[in-house]
């Protein structure tokens, strides 16, 4: 075969050699590909370093006006001029509306009559109570005086009986002679005794036995007379005690307090209506810069209150205080037949808040003054907690916090506590009524060891990382103990030292000793 090759032309020889070399190279490449070592997996890496971690609570809320002025109108007023529509911006002092109030005067008159009537009832009751109090004092004085008379009369009878006994005379018990009873009754009538007192005396006298003395009839008559006088005194005492019981029963403090409360309520109602009436007479003017969010009055038309939810009304803002809020709220109510209602609502953009609802576990972490950020329509605002509710309210919807609480064993109820945050520099990009994302800074930890959240692996209750040994090009699996977690980092309590390197997002197949390389940027 070699002879044949030698006989080949130079050109053929070169071609054959070239093919052989190509085949040899192909064989070498295939063998290399089969047995070459796998390259190490490349990872992004992070250095364990000190920094700041902020523990935060993220919830969703609703943008609201912190100042909402409801201009209240009385049924029957006629709007003469209405200068605004929903969505209009107004400046402090701008005219909003003017009214003809003649059609509402009847409500003012009616409220005044109700107050006058309630005040009269209270004053009459107070006079009666004062009279009863005076009667009670006199009654007590009369009872004490009567008891003293009875004690004295008993002493006189005892002395007379002793005198009779010393004379050795015989004493027997006999009924009181009827002519003496009749004489006493006649005397009682002449002295103005009531029939009740006379009946009490007769009832007592009919059962009384008086001593009958043998011998000296003058002593007998005197003894009978004194016993009759004692019986009369006892009857008078019984009448006084009955009168005292009647006075006690009519002295009802609760009844008087109820009348006083009614009178006070009617006065507040009258003052409320009068204040609204006076404001309508002067006309409505914007008390702050803001935007009109509700208009229920029309030029030339008589105002009729519409059904509305008073929970959202800040009635007290009408007067600059809450003095009449409860009264006006009860007047407005939710009835279509109410005498007053909201005519126009002005919301101020100078004072914007975000209202959120949090669960009981999160509530314990919050307090006024805590800093927060509010995100709405792709813009972020600084905010601060101004109110933390002490009682639960019905949540209107679900947020991530409430869902998480239910998953980790918290209460399944949608109830929570209300928390309000004030936005520091609001602008017109904040739309009242829109949702907003709220992030509340709970705890700020400066100068702590931390690593990216992507470096931490959780498995069966434990947390670990893979630490990179740059000299050997391999990783070491290491358990860690972590503290606070924020959006990007874990606080490291134990398991790592400052300056060590960990890999991010390790592959599930990564184990102790796996060769890795740092991914180039």
**Number of other CB atoms surrounding residue 98 within 10 Å:** 18
Half-sphere exposure at residue 285, Cβ-oriented, CA atoms within 13 angstroms? 8
292 pLDDT band (50/70/90 cuts)? Answer: very high
Q: What is the predicted pLDDT for the residue at 408?
A: 36
244 pLDDT band (50/70/90 cuts)? Answer: low
Q: Are 483 and 448 spatial neighbours (Cβ–Cβ below 8 Å)?
A: yes
Q: Check residues 409 and 445 and name the one with the higher pLDDT.
A: 445
**pLDDT value at 439 more than 90:** yes
Closest CA to 374 of 425, 433, 312, 443: 425
10 pLDDT band (50/70/90 cuts)? Answer: low
Q: What is the predicted pLDDT for the residue at 250?
A: 47
Q: Check residues 59 and 307 and name the one with the higher pLDDT.
A: 59
- Answering whether pTM is above 0.75, one says no
pLDDT in tens, 174-189: 676 777 777 777 877 8
Both tokens of residue 202? 């007769």
Point out which residues pair with 290 in neighbouring strands: 90
Non-local CB neighbours of 285 within 8 Å, separated by 6+ positions: 93, 94, 95, 96
Closest CA to 96 of 274, 273, 294: 294
Q: What is the predicted pLDDT for the residue at 314?
A: 43
Closest CA to 255 of 131, 124, 114: 124
Q: What is the predicted pLDDT for the residue at 252?
A: 61
Quote the percentage of the chain above a pLDDT of 70: 78
**pLDDT value at 253 more than 60:** yes
Cα of 142 vs its chain's centroid, Å: 55
The alpha carbons of the chain give a radius of gyration, in whole angstroms, of 50
Task: Specify the range with the lowest mean pLDDT, choosing from 143-157, 339-353, 470-484.
Answer: 143-157
Q: What is the predicted pLDDT for the residue at 341?
A: 92
Mean pLDDT of the chain: 80
pLDDT in tens, 36-95: 566 788 999 999 999 999 888 999 999 988 888 999 999 999 999 999 999 899 999 999
Q: What is the predicted pLDDT for the residue at 429?
A: 82
Signed CA dihedral, 453, 459, 464, 466: sign only? negative
Closest CA to 290 of 424, 426, 92: 92
Closest CA to 232 of 274, 169, 180: 180
**Number of other CB atoms surrounding residue 517 within 10 Å:** 14
Q: Are 317 and 68 spatial neighbours (Cβ–Cβ below 8 Å)?
A: yes
């Amino acid at each position: 075969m070699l002879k044949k090759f030698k006989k080949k032309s130079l050109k053929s020889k070169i071609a054959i050699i070239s093919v052989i070399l190509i085949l040899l190279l192909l064989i070498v490449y295939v063998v290399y590909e089969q047995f070459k070592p796998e390259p190490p997996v490349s990872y992004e890496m992070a250095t364990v370093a000190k920094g700041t971690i902020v523990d935060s609570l993220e919830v969703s809320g609703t943008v609201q006006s912190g100042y909402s002025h409801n201009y209240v109108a009385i049924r029957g007023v006629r709007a003469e001029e209405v200068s605004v529509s929903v969505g209009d911006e107004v400046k402090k002092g701008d005219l909003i509306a003017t009214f003809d109030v003649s059609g509402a005067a009847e409500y003012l008159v009616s409220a005044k009559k109700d107050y006058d009537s309630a005040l009269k009832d209270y004053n009459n009751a107070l006079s009666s109570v004062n009279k009863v109090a005076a009667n009670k004092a006199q009654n007590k004085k009369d009872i004490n005086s009567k008891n003293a008379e009875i004690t004295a009369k008993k002493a006189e009878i005892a002395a007379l009986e002793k005198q009779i006994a010393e004379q050795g005379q015989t004493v027997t018990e006999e009924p009181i002679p009827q002519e003496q009873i009749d004489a006493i009754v006649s005397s009682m009538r002449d002295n103005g005794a009531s029939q009740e007192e006379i009946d009490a005396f007769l009832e007592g006298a009919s059962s009384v036995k008086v001593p009958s003395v043998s011998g000296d009839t003058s002593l007998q008559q005197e003894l009978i007379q004194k016993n009759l006088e004692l019986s009369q005194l006892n009857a008078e005492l019984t009448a006084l005690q009955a009168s005292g019981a009647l006075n006690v029963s009519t002295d009802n403090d609760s009844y008087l307090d109820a009348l006083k409360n009614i009178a006070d309520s009617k006065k507040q109602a009258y003052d409320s209506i009068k204040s609204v009436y006076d404001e309508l007479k002067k006309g409505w003017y914007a008390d702050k810069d803001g935007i009109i969010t509700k208009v229920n009055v029309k030029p030339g038309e008589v105002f009729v209150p519409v059904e509305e939810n008073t929970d959202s009304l800040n009635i007290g803002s009408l007067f600059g205080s809450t003095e009449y809020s409860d009264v006006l709220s009860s007047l407005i109510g939710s009835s279509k037949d109410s005498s007053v209602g909201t005519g126009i609502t002005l919301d101020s953009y100078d004072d914007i808040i975000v209202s959120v609802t949090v669960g009981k576990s999160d509530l314990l972490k919050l307090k006024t003054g805590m800093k927060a950020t509010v995100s709405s329509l792709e813009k972020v605002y600084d905010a601060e907690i101004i109110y933390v509710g002490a009682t639960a309210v019905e949540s209107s919807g679900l947020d991530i916090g409430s869902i998480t609480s239910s998953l980790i064993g918290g209460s399944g109820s949608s109830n929570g506590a209300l928390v309000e945050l004030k936005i520091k520099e609001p602008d017109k990009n904040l739309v009242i009524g829109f949702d907003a994302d709220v992030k509340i800074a709970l705890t700020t930890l400066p100068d702590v060891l931390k690593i990216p959240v992507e470096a931490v692996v959780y498995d069966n209750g434990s947390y670990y990382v893979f630490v990179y040994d740059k000299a050997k090009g391999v990783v070491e699996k290491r358990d860690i103990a972590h503290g606070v977690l924020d959006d990007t980092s874990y606080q490291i309590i134990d398991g790592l030292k400052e300056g060590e390197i960990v890999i991010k997002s390790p592959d599930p197949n990564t184990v102790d000793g796996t060769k890795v390389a740092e991914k180039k940027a």
